[in-house]
Amino acid sequence: MRDITESTITDAVLESFGSTGDARLKQLMQSLVTHLHGFVREVEPTTAEWMAAIRFLTRTGQICDDRRQEFILLSDTLGVSVLVDLINHRMPIGATDTTVLGPFYVDNPPGYPLGADIAEGMTGKPMYCDGRVLTAAGEPIPGALVDVWQCDGDGHYDIQLGGGKLGLRARLVADEQGRFAFWSVVPSHYPIPEDGPVGEMLGATGRHPYRPAHVHFMISHPGHETLVTHIFLDGSPYLESDTVFDVKTSLVTRVAHHDAGTAPDGKRMDRPWGRLHYDFGLKSTAGDPPVATPARELTGARA
């Protein structure tokens, strides 16, 4: 393999993967090379531009640690995370739409009893959040694990505040009727972390870094696909321009605002509070028939 030229380099690299034993790995590598070379041919980067790209990716890795995941942010802001999610979750009618995981999930969140206050002192207007976990056919799923995480009323997640204290994240177990409930705070819209390479990319291209207000859920139970989704708050800014492209109308729900008084769980509230209610539908692993993408518009919140 000598005297490689602009017109022969791509075939030479593709051929170098020709004897890859794993057929899927061979497909991935050859497709990656094909598209990467196509990109380079299209934009004809200068050497300085290519090195700037290398430095960008290097810094993206260097800023990552066990609490900061800049590569997920990069994937999210380029729309790749949503595309992968959509391809992998063509859902049946009755199953809740999925969203990306995002960078703020923490494995094995602290367990709480149903109805607990998970705010742990984080600030914001009190919010009672409740709903049910159901099959796509609408039957309750007793004992479903409900992981929830969200930011506070100022748009901060616990792990962004430092100090190592967790708050506004929990693992709950649905009751025999598939119901769950907890107290938190009304979350705010927020900017994704802007102090790293992804923030530089957004700034350099004139894009804003904001996400509309939401609560994250991960719901699991044997026999069903684990559901990763958000519930977005109706009326929040940025519903039409989420910087990670993940708002689905079926997931937008209104927070009902109440004056001081008695909450649904009997708790006496001495100040205004909100209520967020949503019922989730889980897809069976036994194989509910998938529906074509346009019909996903028909799926939606039950509440």
Binding site for Fe ion (CB under 5 A): 102
CA 23 to each of CA 10, 14, 51, 156, 248: distance values in angstroms, whole numbers, following the listed order: 19, 14, 32, 44, 35
- Given the complex with Fe ion, which of 102 and 178 has the nearer CB atom? 102
Question: At closest approach, how far in Å is the CB of 45 from Fe ion?
Answer: 34
Contact between residue 245 and residue 225 where contact means Cβ atoms under 8 Å apart: no
**Shortest Cβ 213–Fe ion spacing (Å):** 9
R_g of the chain computed on alpha carbons: 23
| Nearer CB in complex with Fe ion: 97/288 | 97
Strands 145-150 and 169-173: antiparallel
Q: What is the smallest separation between the CB atom of 222 and Fe ion, expressed in angstroms?
A: 27
User: What is the rounded CA–CA span in Å between residue 174 and residue 191?
Assistant: 32
Q: Which residue is nearest to Fe ion (CB)?
A: 102
Closer residue to Fe ion (CB): 102 or 281: 102
Q: 242: closest CA among 69, 75, 76, 60?
A: 76
For the bound state, the minimum distance from the C-beta of residue 149 to Fe ion, rounded and expressed in Å, comes to 8
CB of 245 to Fe ion, least distance (A): 14
> In 3-state terms, what secondary structure has residue 56?
helix
Element (H, E) at 59: helix 47-62
Least Å from the CB of residue 142 to Fe ion = 28
Nearer to Fe ion, 102 or 153 (CB): 102
Distance, CA of 6 to CA of 300 (rounded, Å)? 51
Closer CB to Fe ion, 230 or 277, in the complex: 230
- The angle formed by the CA atoms of residues 252, 255 and 257, to the nearest 5 degrees, is 160
CA distance 27 to 30: 5
Tokens 């992804």 correspond to 198
- Cβ-based nearer residue to Fe ion, 178 or 187: 187
